[in-house]
Amino acid sequence: MSEPQAAMRSIWYFVGIILTVMGGIILLTGLWNLLVPPEPAADGRNIFQHLHPSVWWGAFMVVCGLVYLWFNRQPVRS
């Protein structure tokens, strides 16, 4: 009797997990900064702080991670 072959996941599935988790962390940090704004820097380094880039990039990373997970959800048979 032959043993059943184990199905392997594509590397892009794990990239999707990492993007989703890291994007979620960045998104939550950006949302926290919306609720509790940080102190402005004394030297004016945060000139684009009003655009909230952590919210946008976090949401973008979560969406990209979910796309990777969606398209690579099936295990690869060898």
Which parts of the chain have pLDDT scores under 70?
1-3, 78
Using CA atoms, how far residue 34 sits from 1, 5, 24, 49, 60, in Å, is: 61, 49, 15, 10, 17
pLDDT at 17: 97
Supply the pTM of this predicted model. 0.81
